[in-house]
Amino acid sequence: MSEANQGSSLFPNYARYPIAIVKGEGSWLWDDKGKKYLDFVSGIAVTNLGHAPHRIKEALVKQLDELWHVSNLYQIPNQEAAAKLLTDNSCADAVFFCNSGAEANEAAIKLARRYHQKIAETGRYEIISFYQSFHGRTLATLTATGQDKVKEGFAPLPEGFKHVPLNDIPALEAAITDKTAAIMLEMVQAEGGIHPVDEAFVQHIAKLCKEQGILLIIDEIQTGMGRTGKLFAYEHYGIEPDIFTLAKGIGSGFPVGATLAKGYLAEAFGPGSHGSTFGGTPLATAAVKATVETIVGEKLAERAADMGQYLMGRLQDQLGAHPSVVEVRGKGLIIGIECTEPVASVVSEAQQRGLLILTAGPNVIRLLPNLLVSREEADLAVTILSSIFAERTAAV
């Protein structure tokens, strides 16, 4: 066992920081020694409403008193209501609930294949996705992921996956064959370094998909639920995916995933075709319902757009001209600061100064504040980051 994991009964699969967070409220976290942190990680885009949001807590506590789990053998009114809210507020007509992002993408891949095999009867099965993408860690979703590091040691991988460079129309066109079932992409590649996809590329994909009977799958697991300034990031582009996936922020911290699709795909998931014991429990979907109602009712996507513009502007002002900053980019409240060198030490220094941030690849700082973050909190984060960068310049 590695030194870092000494004394732990857990697998050493996470490189954890040596801090234990024990309490959270709004944008703030406290560790077991009482130190307070401003949280610009949000559990990696999960606690979009901040920590312990009152309305979600109330919904969960009420449901805890009534019923936790019954199985999908029975009608689950909360699941129906949560699905209706999601379809009323998106281009989708049907929802499948599961427990994580990887599971939601796994279901999306299965749905695309099954549609082509059972409904359209084209026999197509191939999924085209993009280099630097991240779609999860099940065997199919890590195969769809465009990063070799998540695949190492897991061969043989499932067949029927291809990768092309993002924003490269000729490469995409060359990869399409009569076996192409779906094209799968993130609107902002998140784990891959905060790369928003080009508008023209998205429009071209949507057109190709329509012309050639290929399904468009959008992975909204990190970008969905208001984070980019729209409820779902695909709305920025005026397109409608055939399938899109959600997880992370959909339950405000309660583990839930969802695969959403157009009505013409619904029959592909007939009785017995797919399922999950814990998918859409009364408890999980109480969290989804309260979360969607809050984000839509309180116009938090619009708020994220405004705050994102503010924060991005402040970061560009304060850090944009720094010699080690290449670019500040993002959409709404998913922001990346690309640097000329690895940024792990910036994350550690920020932690010491009471600010939690994360990376997106070795050279990119990733900021994911909650959608209710205040200007004062945004200013504080900018001040801490500016001081770290200024001290670095002074030290050179």
Residue ranges that bind ligand PLP, judged by CB under 6 A: 44, 100-102, 105, 134-136, 186, 190-191, 219, 221-222, 247
Distance CA(105)–CA(144), nearest Å, equals 9
Ranked by CB distance to ligand PLP, the top (closest) residue is: 101
Of residues 45 and 325, the one with the C-beta less far from ligand PLP:
45
Minimum distance from CB of 154 to ligand PLP (Å)? 15
Burial level of 211, CB count in 10 A (0-12/13-18/19+)?
A: exposed
The answer to whether the beta carbons of residues 359 and 349 sit under 8 Å apart is no
User: In angstroms, what CA-CA distances link 227 with 49, 220, 300?
Assistant: 10, 10, 9
Minimum distance from CB of 7 to ligand PLP (Å)? 26
Of residues 115 and 134, the one with the C-beta less far from ligand PLP:
134
State which amino acid sits at residue 329: R
The H or E element that residue 238 is part of is none
Of residues 27 and 222, the one with the C-beta less far from ligand PLP:
222
Distance CA(122)–CA(279), nearest Å, equals 30
The H or E element that residue 215 is part of is strand 215-219
Of residues 126 and 186, the one with the C-beta less far from ligand PLP:
186
Listing from the earlier edge strand, what are the strands of the sheet with 358-359?
325-331, 334-339, 364-367, 358-359
Minimum distance from CB of 192 to ligand PLP (Å)? 9
The answer to whether the beta carbons of residues 346 and 316 sit under 8 Å apart is no
Minimum distance from CB of 64 to ligand PLP (Å)? 23
Of residues 193 and 388, the one with the C-beta less far from ligand PLP:
193
Of residues 145 and 318, the one with the C-beta less far from ligand PLP:
145
Strands 126-130 and 28-31: unpaired
